[in-house]
């Protein structure tokens, strides 16, 4: 539980629907998840299963499938494995208050060694992602302190298309951020800000009937 101490300290689980801290040892499934999170600002959280927890990075602009684009990824506290399926609304006033979506999910395979913890300590992890949206070879490389870069390698899955724009919805429920907020008691206007495709289903239906 040591690696989840910071996660626990930042949250009130009697107020937030986020999963409680629980480390789950055993044979790793090597899950990865990217969660789209409209808190104070819209960003994406990139998470990899390692050592019974989800190692996590905040990626302000989201992953890019263009090898020429290097996306800043800020290392943040470890999250419990159950967080990989968390989609919903964190109440305003709580840490990270806002709407969370499972934007992509799948498994990964390391390319430059098997000891994920050791590779992260060294500051470079090459990996193959097998998600619904993100696929192929990538690298996470530390530049300094908590600052990392998330970069797509050149392969058949590389593209200049901006997936965060062309594929904005949840891979679990097909909902947009605003739809999640609307259906789960969140701030719809805030969820839609900075995410132009994030229009609640009810609003689209209203417009279509005019």
H or E element that contains 201: helix 201-209
pLDDT at 208 exceeding the cut of 50: no
- What does 106-165 look like in DSSP terms, one character per residue? EEEEESS-S-HHHHHHHTEEEEEEEESS-EEEEEEEEEETTEEEEEEPSSTT--SS-HHH
Render pLDDT for 94-120 as a digit per residue (tens, 0 to 9): 999 999 999 999 999 999 988 999 999
Total domain count, the chain: 1
Rounded to whole angstroms, how far apart are CA atoms 35 and 6?
19
Q: What is the pTM of this model?
A: 0.91
**Per-residue model confidence as pLDDT tens digits over 114-152:** 899 999 999 999 999 999 999 999 999 999 999 999 999
Domain membership of residue 64 as a residue range: 2-209
| pLDDT tens for each residue of 34-89 | 999 999 999 999 999 999 999 999 999 999 999 999 999 999 999 999 999 999 99
Through-space distance between the first and last CA atoms of the chain, rounded to whole angstroms: 55
User: Residues near 30 by Cβ (< 8 Å), separated by ≥ 6?
Assistant: 48, 49, 107, 108, 109
User: pLDDT tens digits, residue range 151-192?
Assistant: 999 999 999 999 999 999 999 999 999 999 999 999 999 998
């Amino acid at each position: 539980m040591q690696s989840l101490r910071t996660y626990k300290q930042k949250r009130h689980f009697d107020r937030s629907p986020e999963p409680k801290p629980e480390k789950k040892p055993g044979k790793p499934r090597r899950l990865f998840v990217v969660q789209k999170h409209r808190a104070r600002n819209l960003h994406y959280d990139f998470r990899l299963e390692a050592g019974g927890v989800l190692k996590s990075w905040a990626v302000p602009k989201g992953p890019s499938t263009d090898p020429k684009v290097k996306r800043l990824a800020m290392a943040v506290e470890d999250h419990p494995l159950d967080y990989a399926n968390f989609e919903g609304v964190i109440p305003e006033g709580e840490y990270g208050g806002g709407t969370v979506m499972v934007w992509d999910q799948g498994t990964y395979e390391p390319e430059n060694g098997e000891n994920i913890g050791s590779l992260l300590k060294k500051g470079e992890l090459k990996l193959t992602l097998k998600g619904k949206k993100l696929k192929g070879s990538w690298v996470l490389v530390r530049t300094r302190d908590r600052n990392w870069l998330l970069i797509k390698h050149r392969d058949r899955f590389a593209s200049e298309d901006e997936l965060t724009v062309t594929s904005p919805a949840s891979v679990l429920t097909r909902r947009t951020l605003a739809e999640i907020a609307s259906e789960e008691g969140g701030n719809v206007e805030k969820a839609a800000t900075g995410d132009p495709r994030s229009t609640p289903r009810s609003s689209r239906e209203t417009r279509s009937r005019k």
